[in-house]
Amino acid sequence: MEREFQDSLLPNGIHLHTYVTDRFKTVLCKLYIHQPLGPKASATALLPFVLGRGCRTYPTLRDIARRLEELYGAIFSADVVKIGERQLIELGLSVPEEKVLGVSGLLGEAVQTLAEVVCHPLLEGEGFNQEYFRQERELLLRKIDGLINDKPRYAMLRLFQEMCPKEPFGIHKYGSREEIEGLTAASLFAHYQEIRQGQCDLFVVGNVSPSQVEEAVQGAFADGWRSREFPPVSEGTPQGGVEIREEQDVNQGILAMGMRTGVTYRDEDYPALLFYNGILGGFPHSKLFINVRERASLAYFAFSRLEPTKGVLAASAGIDVNEYERARDIIKEQIDALAAGDISDEELEATRRGLIHRQLTISDDPAGLVDSHLLGLINNRIRPQRELIDQLGQVAREDVVRVAQGVQPDVTFFLCGPREREGN
């Protein structure tokens, strides 16, 4: 029998998701607090890093490190995640499995430690600890400034900003430098209090007893967590292939072409959309890789990326700045070829094998299991692994063509060097 998450809403308001398996020697706990992407994105982004610096019970990093050692070398993590138009605070704790160590009560202690970090932050006056706030705000500013150094990621960021200037999806998961600079320790704590009892999902993956997990989470976390209704993902209007050029001091250009697919994770055509992305640019056998990189020798990378909750897709290539028009036209030719049904049996079956293999590898990674289930929860459509694999096995060429014919070009973004350099 295939394992799946057991979902329950606890009396304290936390949504608990437990996956019982003996495949791993650790137990992973991951907690998510949900927020809609919006004007306070930077405050939400900063919170997990400040919370992770210290709490009432473990006020310093040294205290936290000592506590992790007491939990047999537990691993703590803090981050912020963007899925569609939702932003999530992510706090995680991984501990060894109790049966491996021959101990009991370790999971309960881990859950209690996670609750201390989430619910009892270290305060100073009317806000967070000033030094922790200052240091983490500076680090987040550096992360935002550093985005420009990873040119492919930066080009994708700018593409989505240009595609979605009035849609929450255009907001980066870290928010903006201006908003971060305007935060104070007190204003960040006020934001924390606003979301402190918002929607919370806690995932536990490992060889555990669901009833013991429920008891531990109910006992560690106070009551008051509340579910909330999130606005539907916005539907933007395609800009019809608008081309935007940004000049920087770069030697290689980055071409990113954005499209709106009209299909999202919750739709029946989602498996066919996975095929579309895979055939276009998701694998080494894809049209972009073969035609842009291999045959035309235009790119040092070429791929496509799908965001299934929003239903947007981007094709990207790293090219010589003088080859923009040629590379753009070849990419358009591949998009048109898919819409025209130019899909070989080899492309179809290689993509099927690749997609099914990706699904199977999810079971080998506790974090992958969590990510997959979380994606389903956010989209109000749980897709059990076996169900999706079966659907991938049934996708036909005409299904992919149907999706391809609904794809609409939106914005093309080109990151390049100064014009006077080109042609030299």
Whether the CB-CB separation of 319 and 255 falls below 8 Å is answered with yes
pLDDT in tens, 357-382: 999 999 899 999 999 999 999 999 99
pLDDT in tens, 163-189: 999 999 999 999 999 999 999 999 999
Mean pLDDT of 202-216: 97
- The secondary element (H helix, E strand) that includes residue 95 is strand 86-96
Could you give all domains of the chain from N- to C-terminal order, each with its CATH number?
Answer: 6-220 (3.30.830.10), 242-421 (3.30.830.10)
Write down the pTM of the prediction: 0.95
pLDDT of 420 over the 50 cut: no
Give φ, ψ of 193 to 5 degrees: -65, -30
pLDDT of 353 over the 70 cut: yes
Which single residue is written with the structure tokens 């700018």?
Answer: 158
pLDDT in tens, 316-345: 999 998 999 999 999 999 999 999 999 999
Mean pLDDT of 387-405: 98
pLDDT in tens, 229-283: 999 999 888 888 899 999 998 888 999 999 999 999 999 999 999 999 999 999 9
Long-range contacts of 384-390 (CB under 8 A, 24+ apart): 384/2, 384/4, 385/2, 385/359, 385/360, 386/2, 388/271, 388/359, 389/356, 389/359, 389/360
User: CA 79 to CA 368: how far, in whole Å?
Assistant: 16
DSSP state letter for 37? S
Pairing of strands 200-206, 75-83: unpaired
pLDDT in tens, 84-132: 999 999 999 999 999 889 899 999 999 999 999 999 999 999 999 999 9
